Amino acid sequence: MTLARLVATLALPLAIVSAAFAPAHADSWKFDVVNKGNSPVVEFRTQEEGEWSENWVENRIEPGDTVNLDFETAEGKCTVRTQIRFVDGTYFDADVDYCKANLLEIHTDTLVWKAAE
């Protein structure tokens, strides 16, 4: 067996083992959202190609509550326009880099995202 063939033979099993132990966040963008505002959040939407997604929030996110969300993909543009709407109808939107963000803090009129440390 040639050295090149031996390397090729060993490379496939190593790639399979590496994929099996890859971190979960490599497969999808997962993040926590905490409501640090004074009003319950009733809508969380993301924008793609000029269209807003369906509401990601099944129930309200009460002040002080944290929810875990997941794009269920790690493909596409990292920076995504994100809209937050409160129970009183007020809303705002902001850009979030989901390739880096693992925590989103919703304040009364702004969204702050934080990267993993």
CATH value at residue 106: 2.60.40.1120
Q: Are 33 and 69 in contact (CB under 8 A)?
A: yes
Predicted TM-score (pTM) above 0.75: no
Residue 12 DSSP SS3: helix
Query: Could you give the number of structural domains in the chain?
Result: 1
Any domain includes 19: no
Q: Are 31 and 102 in contact (CB under 8 A)?
A: yes
Tens of pLDDT, residue by residue over 35-46, are 999 999 999 999
Any domain includes 73: yes
Any domain includes 16: no
In the block, tokens 């926590």 appear at 32
Domain range for 29 is 24-115
Residue 84 DSSP SS3: strand
Listed residue (35, 29, 31, 30) closest to 105, CA to CA = 35
Tens of pLDDT, residue by residue over 69-95, are 998 887 888 999 999 999 999 999 999
Any domain includes 29: yes
